[in-house]
Amino acid sequence: MAEEHSERYGVSDDEADIERVRLAMLSEARDPVTFALLDRVGVADGMHALEVGAGTGSVSAWLAERVGSRGRVMSTDIDLRFHAEMPSNVIVRQHDVTSEKLPSEHFDLVHARAVIQHLPEREDVLARLLEALKPGGAMVVEDGAMLEFAEQSLPEPYRSVHRLIAGASHEEWRDPNAGVRVLGWMRDLGMEGLEVIGDVWTMRPGEPAGEWWFLALERAVPRLVEFGVVSEADGSTLLAQVREPGFAMLSPTSIATVGRKPADG
């Protein structure tokens, strides 16, 4: 099972150290935005919360503090290699949300960040998460709009490779524009009080706001070279380009979609 989860997650053991740092950078860059969003939605003492695709567990730990000793947080991921130790009111589970059950009508809050785009069963997963919500409970899904991110002005050869990676799409792998579609999927599921909040930021080398992506490039480029998609020389050049002093680029658009399960179930 662990081997199957590792394969789907896409991180080999050789890449684990880079991925651990990358996830930490993503958490440092995006957690303040997520925390403000969840505070706006409402996290109260005694709540039961579900964190899907928890990564390092940083959001789960924050939720644990907010729900207090009377509350519980279930922190799940298909791969727990990067998940930190948690407070006693957090239940950590290796869990495949595409196929494994969740307790029905159990959670007051469900949150997923940068998860849905990677799941080919994404609409079915949202239906599963809705089933896990109590009537009146809130679902918060943060995901990206990557196609405009792919088209920004950048120096060659990085521009061509960036367009390839950022815009990559495959039915059985990834929807780079899932963040644009979540609102419609939630609407079709009959969720109420729908709201969207979006933001972009500047990505620079040496800063968490950019390193989450540049470290992903360090993983991706050797594979592209191995498969003959990118020359070794271009691969080395583009990795140097994104580390140059003064380099800056536009982030993807992060779109947070919020909805509630009807109070009558």
Instruction: Give CA–CA dist 1/52, Å, rounded.
Output: 18
Q: What is the pLDDT of residues 4-35, one digit of tens each?
A: 344 444 667 777 888 999 999 999 999 999 99
pLDDT for the residue 172: 60
Partners of 48 in the beta sheet?
72
pLDDT for the residue 167: 81
pLDDT for the residue 46: 98
pLDDT for the residue 13: 73
pTM score > 0.85 for this model? yes
| Ranges of each domain in the chain | 2-260
Beta strand 90-94 with 72-77 is parallel
Residue 261: is its pLDDT beyond 70?
yes
The CATH number that domain 2-260 falls under is 3.40.50.150
Q: What is the pLDDT of residues 118-140, one digit of tens each?
A: 998 999 999 999 999 999 999 99
Tell which residue, 150, 74, 154, 166, has the closest CA to residue 112: 74
Sheet holding 107-113, edge to edge: 90-94, 72-77, 48-52, 107-113, 133-145, 253-260, 192-199
Residue 67: is its pLDDT beyond 80?
yes
Q: Binning pLDDT at 50, 70 and 90, where does residue 147 land? A: confident
CB-based contacts of 58: which residues, under 8 Å, 6+ apart?
Answer: 27, 31, 84
Residue 68: is its pLDDT beyond 50?
yes
Compute the mean pLDDT over every residue in the chain, rounded to the nearest whole number.
Answer: 93
Residue 54: is its pLDDT beyond 70?
yes
pLDDT for the residue 12: 72
Span 85-104, mean pLDDT? 97
Q: Residues in the chain, how many?
A: 265
